Structure 1
Amino acid sequence: MSFAPDILERLARARSDLRMGVPILLIKEGQAVLVLSAETLKADRLEDVRGLGHELVLTITSRRAETLKARAYDGDLARLALPADAGINWIKGVADPQDDLNKPMKGPLKSLRDGSADLHRTAIKLVKSARLLPSALVVELDNAAAFAMANGLTVIPADLAAPHLETTSPLNSVVHARLPMEAAEAGRLHIFRPEDGGEEHYAIEIGRPSRDEPVLARLHSACFTGDVLGSLKCDCGPQLNGALAQMGSEGAGVLLYLNQEGRGIGLANKMRAYSLQDQGFDTVEANHRLGFEDDERDFRIGSKILREMGFSSVRLLTNNPRKISMMESTGITVAERVALKVGENAHNTAYLATKAAKSGHLL
């Protein structure tokens, strides 16, 4: 019998630590690094890290490096040597594009090209999964085990973590109950909880859809601004209501409400992207300047929930071909694509045009 946390539980701890500004340790084949999120780094901790006497490296994604004109020798990321006089404001200025237009010259930036970037890559994946800016301060350590024990730090073996950072967490059905709604009185809400401590996801079942034929379904990513506040910058709220109304009209359907706000980057980073859009960048350019890809969502979550509920074939309400290919690649047959063209207005015309031109949406 063991009371020690398994790797999924340790990863959940690590994400929580990083969000609070607490460092973690990554280890692999005798190498160990201390990792701190650039976003949540505090000045006193920066001085403590400097006191260790090792080279400090600020790791950023290649998307952010491209914006900063820094060389990404490691392909998907760049390891920047921290200048001796660089303070907390310099680090946050490199990580966060908020002030890029006022201070476009961040450099000179020295990118490292020697040595392995494996643990730096794991560090970026971890801060991303914690919904933080994709930038991490990384410092090599000696005597890692003693250091971790002395400071009570979470230790993550990179090889054990790798499969869990690349795949979706197992999901467990928690509860479901009847929920009469405006769209349909015959409604039922199902709650699914991932084992890795991440956000719960929801399935809204309308009527009693047959498991033996394609079900009218939608994968809807959470959008607090559109779904709750009625934002006019996107078409999410009208899509949510339109999908539920169509399911109610047909008498059956299932809407998966996936907590992947802002195309999977989280609400805080989504608001950062909105701020960049106010500076004249489109939605894809804003994500890239933040260091993210066009779309960081994982629609495999949706297929897992559908299978858990007994569905194997769908009539998918979507304008996004990526959702179709992801469903089919994970064993869910898409018998039909059902268009969902609602919600265009004067405030989101450019946004919708960008989705069509750069993300392939069928609008």
Structure 2
Amino acid sequence: MNEFPVNSSLRGPAALDPDSRIAVERAVAELRRACLVFLCDAEAAKGPGYLLLSAENADHEALAALHQHGQDQGTCLLLTAPRAQALGLDSEANTPLALDCTGLSLEEIVQLANPAGDSKALALHNRDSLAARIRPFPQLSAEAALELTKLARLLPAAVMQPISQRPDGILSVSPSQIQHYRSTAALMLKQVASAEVPLLGAENTRIVAFRPADGGREHLAIIVGSPRNDHPVLTRLHSECFTGDLLRSLRCDCGDQLRGAIEAMTAEGAGILLYLAQEGRGIGLVNKLRAYRLQDQGADTLEANEALGFDADERIYEPAAEMLKHLGYTRIRLLTNNPEKVADLARHGITVEDRVTHSFPSNGHNEAYLDTKARRFGHMFEI
């Protein structure tokens, strides 16, 4: 099997310059380490702004540092609109909400951010007392802060402290840099390795690895046979699922979809399965386990994701489109029951000439999950 050339002419320009991209990546790393980040306008990196701390990673030491720099005035807990609504608070669609943190303990802050945590029930958690804490907050800065926590694969909640200038030794990043990061990273995928990997039932298979700009987890193209690029190739976009793909969990249908796609491609003689590093509809494995806990308490998949503060589906498919372009394919037949994949690929320059049915029977454990996918996400199941 021949190497697949990179079709660089199909790639658009990066939205961020290298320094801005690196600033976001370093800020993400700092948040994951429970460190502070300074959020301010890029043109005024020494001027006023906000100290930002991930609510999930907040501890007594980090909160003390935050208050030391800001004199403990105006500290707010930022929540996404879905999380605010799950707490019974009025919030406009897609508009973050800020709660005054004055008098709140660390445990209370963490509990407000994480409904799947182990904290004891708090008397604070009633609608009227929380509503009295709502404070105005600049929307652009709030959206950027919460997006940064998502990029860090943490719960989308942040503790914010206004300060007059950036303290020495704390990384600075701007809302505009954060806003344009995802599209930039998608355009900067780099092919880093490829090898022939015979699979059970699909011995003529090659795997090509693409690394994102932040050096994070790679996306994989699993190429069965030798697909021609002069007519539509059978393709599957498969978001990784550790529990379903590897452990064969019965809570979902992901393992069936993965193995079924490879079987279909083998039967046809060729195909491309893009294995995308966006576990749990893009919220990550840890947050997926938190969502499972909420589902065990009665929430469905969509409700659990929103209770954690995420959108119903956080996945993006621009990286998949870029991978196909790298490999020299722009026309496909897509194995999917999700119409959003068809629409999103089209927005990014991939022509989906046919949606190929890709559904599997329930297994006695995933009926509610499949029902939610059909009823609330619009998936089209044809068994």
TM-score, normalisation: structure 1: 0.93
Is 1:327 aligned to residue 345 of structure 2?
yes
Is 1:143 aligned to residue 160 of structure 2?
no
Which of these residues, 153, 160, 165, is aligned with residue 177 of structure 2? Answer: 160
AA of the residue aligned to 1:56: T
Which of these residues, 236, 239, 243, is aligned with residue 257 of structure 2? Answer: 239
Aligned counterparts of 2:136 and 2:285: Cα–Cα separation in 1: 36
Residue aligned with 1:98, SS: coil
**Contact 1:202 / 1:256 at 8 angstroms: preserved in 2?**
yes
Which of these residues, 24, 40, 57, is aligned with residue 37 of structure 2? Answer: 24
Is 1:10 aligned to residue 23 of structure 2?
yes
Aligned counterparts of 1:309 and 1:134: Cα–Cα separation in 2: 34
**Contact 1:43 / 1:87 at 8 angstroms: preserved in 2?**
no
Which of these residues, 62, 67, 78, is aligned with residue 59 of structure 1? Answer: 78
Partner of 1:259: 277
Partner of 1:83: 102
**Contact 1:73 / 1:112 at 8 angstroms: preserved in 2?**
no
Which of these residues, 190, 213, 226, is aligned with residue 172 of structure 1? Answer: 190
AA of the residue aligned to 2:250: L
Aligned counterparts of 2:120 and 2:365: Cα–Cα separation in 1: 24
Partner of 1:218: 236
Per-residue deviation, 1:37 = 0.3
Per-residue deviation, 1:256 = 0.1
Per-residue deviation, 1:329 = 1.5
Per-residue deviation, 1:103 = 4.7
Aligned counterparts of 1:216 and 1:75: Cα–Cα separation in 2: 36
Identical columns (%): 41
Distance 1:326 1:73, change over 3 A: closer
Distance 1:31 1:165, change over 3 A: farther
Aligned counterparts of 2:371 and 2:137: Cα–Cα separation in 1: 43
Which of these residues, 92, 95, 103, is aligned with residue 113 of structure 2? Answer: 95
Report Cα offsets for 1:19-60 as digits up to 9, x if no partner. 110111111154311000000111122123223312210000
AA of the residue aligned to 1:57: C
Is 1:125 aligned to residue 143 of structure 2?
no
Greater shift, 68-77 or 291-300, is seen at 68-77
Aligned counterparts of 1:197 and 1:120: Cα–Cα separation in 2: 26
Residue aligned with 2:252, SS: coil
AA of the residue aligned to 1:129: L
Per-residue deviation, 1:312 = 0.8
Greater shift, 75-84 or 118-127, is seen at 75-84
Residue aligned with 1:12, SS: helix
**Contact 1:201 / 1:259 at 8 angstroms: preserved in 2?**
yes
**Contact 1:72 / 1:111 at 8 angstroms: preserved in 2?**
no
**Contact 1:73 / 1:111 at 8 angstroms: preserved in 2?**
no
Is 1:277 aligned to residue 295 of structure 2?
yes
**Contact 2:98 / 2:136 at 8 angstroms: preserved in 1?**
no
Partner of 1:69: 88
AA of the residue aligned to 1:126: L
Greater shift, 261-270 or 11-20, is seen at 11-20
Distance 1:293 1:73, change over 3 A: closer
TM-score, normalisation: structure 2: 0.88
**Contact 2:76 / 2:99 at 8 angstroms: preserved in 1?**
yes
Per-residue deviation, 1:83 = 2.5
**Contact 1:72 / 1:79 at 8 angstroms: preserved in 2?**
no
Per-residue deviation, 1:159 = 2.5
Partner of 1:300: 318
AA of the residue aligned to 2:149: V
**RMSD value over aligned CA atoms?**
2.0
Is 1:106 aligned to residue 147 of structure 2?
no
Larger RCO, structures 1/2 (Cα 8 Å, 6+ apart): 2
Which of these residues, 302, 306, 312, is aligned with residue 288 of structure 1? Answer: 306
Q: Which runs of 5+ in 2 are unaligned?
A: 1-16
Is 1:361 aligned to residue 379 of structure 2?
yes
**Contact 1:70 / 1:111 at 8 angstroms: preserved in 2?**
no
**Contact 2:145 / 2:175 at 8 angstroms: preserved in 1?**
no
Report Cα offsets for 1:58-87 as digits up to 9, x if no partner. 000010101112233695210111132x11
Residue aligned with 2:64, SS: helix
Residue aligned with 1:315, SS: strand
**Contact 2:250 / 2:363 at 8 angstroms: preserved in 1?**
yes
Distance 1:332 1:89, change over 3 A: same
Partner of 2:58: 41
Q: Which runs of 5+ in 1 are unaligned?
A: none
Partner of 1:196: 214
Report Cα offsets for 1:162-194 as digits up to 9, x if no partner. 222455432111121111111311100000011
**Contact 1:74 / 1:113 at 8 angstroms: preserved in 2?**
no
Residue aligned with 2:236, SS: strand
Residue aligned with 2:230, SS: coil
Aligned counterparts of 1:298 and 1:74: Cα–Cα separation in 2: 20
Per-residue deviation, 1:198 = 3.1
User: Which ranges of 4 or more aligned residues in structure 1 deviate by more than 4 Å?
Assistant: 99-105, 165-168
Report Cα offsets for 1:265-294 as digits up to 9, x if no partner. 000000000000000111111011001111
Aligned counterparts of 2:365 and 2:225: Cα–Cα separation in 1: 35
